[in-house]
Chain A
Amino acid sequence: MPESIRALVVEDSPTMRQLICFALRRIKGIEVVEADDGVDGLKKLANGPFHIIITDINMPVMDGLKLVSLVRSDDKWKEVPIVIITTEGAAEDRQRALSLGANAYITKPIQAPQVIACVKKLLNL
């Protein structure tokens, strides 16, 4: 793992995005890039490299499921861990995201320690 870690947070809700970024910035040496939706996320991804992607599922323009599927179909991003943000009730979406190639999920309402633990585990920090 390089000294500097780049994380992409794709979330349309400013509150959630700020909360996730707040949590991530507690990890030493991390740089967080924010995106409003799936399309914005793909644009930001092109300016990589990124070591982890955290995305919401329900978003306008392009949802998280489509984003996961596009990321996984690109050889360049095949190995990048993806964390999805879901609600406990959205089991179907969660399963779909995991089958498309997401590595883990966090349920709402999210807590900073959850986010930090999940990212650290996936990045072996």
Chain B
Amino acid sequence: MSEDRENKGKREAGEEPAAEEFLKVFRRGVQFTEELLRENERLRVRLVRLEEEHRVLAQKRLGPDNYRQLLDQLQELDEQRNQLLERFRAVESENRDYLKRYEEMEQEYNRLANLYIASYQLHSSLDLREVVRVTFEIIVNLIGGEVFCLYVLDGNRLLPVRGEKCVIEQLSPLTMGRGVAGKAAQDGTPYVDSGNLAKAEGDKPRVCIPLAVAGETLGVICIFKFLEHKPCVTELDRELFGLLGLHSATAMAAARLHAEAGKIPHDAEGFRRMLASD
């Protein structure tokens, strides 16, 4: 009885707690519904996106056949790559061989050119002075000799007759068969010292080139010192020693005979006789 009276009192005072409470609940309901709608919208967008991604992935996805095909293709490409690498290596090796061969041919050409020039020049004159000059030129320019002397056989002795950067009067005569020079002259084999050829050691020859024609000794060239940058001899030098030993001797002998004869005989009959005399 007393409660009814109290509520009646509140109503009279304008207070309506139940309505307010209802409104609050209602507003929360509205808010919740709006949130649900937004969430729904968000999920729908997400769904559309997922569907799109799925569609793209489905397009890309390969079946077992496609996968095998790709593997085969990959293997084929790998084989091609290996073949190309192999071919490349073969071509590279061929190139190296060609380069080596080219260098060898170049060396051979230079060797032949030097030998050709030396023999061409030696036989280009019948004048003894010219032959000796060419011989000396070859020793200086092609071999690299700096100090040397030409000895000519006289009886059993080898006498100095012409020198380059040395005074022949100061050089002693040599004896056939004695010392490195005498032995080289007697044996007909060039002598090459094993030491540094660019350093002079008094009158000790560093190289001796015997001059002989038709097995007959004409003399010997002794090189006492080589140019500063020429400490040793090369294979080409050794060939030039051999060439000088024969061709220089032949040219010198021909020049001497020509000087004694005074002229080159121009009679066909004499030529024929000499050809037939064998």
C-alpha spacing A19/B115, complex, angstroms: 10
C-alpha spacing A18/B104, complex, angstroms: 22
- The smallest beta-carbon distance between A113 and chain B, in angstroms, is 7
Is A112 in the interface zone, CB < 8 Å from B? Answer: yes
Query: Which residues does chain A contribute within 8 Å of B143, judged by CB atoms?
Result: 109
- The smallest beta-carbon distance between A81 and chain B, in angstroms, is 22
Is B124 in the interface zone, CB < 8 Å from A? Answer: yes
Is A16 in the interface zone, CB < 8 Å from B? Answer: yes
Query: Which residues does chain A contribute within 8 Å of B146, judged by CB atoms?
Result: 89
- With beta carbons under 8 angstroms apart, the residue of A15, A22, A111 that contacts B137 is A15
Is B117 in the interface zone, CB < 8 Å from A? Answer: yes
Chain A residues 84-121 with CB under 8 Å of chain B are 87-89, 107-113
- With beta carbons under 8 angstroms apart, the residue of B106, B124, B230 that contacts A14 is B124
- The smallest beta-carbon distance between A10 and chain B, in angstroms, is 15
Interface size class of A (residues with CB under 8 A): 10 to 19
A109 touches B121 (CB 8 A): no
Is B190 in the interface zone, CB < 8 Å from A? Answer: no
| Pairs across A and B, CB under 8 Å, 28 listed | A13-B137, A13-B141, A14-B137, A15-B117, A15-B118, A15-B134, A15-B142, A16-B137, A16-B141, A18-B117, A18-B120, A19-B113, A19-B114, A19-B141, A87-B227, A88-B228, A89-B227, A107-B229, A108-B141, A108-B144, A109-B227, A109-B230, A110-B141, A111-B110, A112-B109, A112-B110, A112-B113, A113-B110
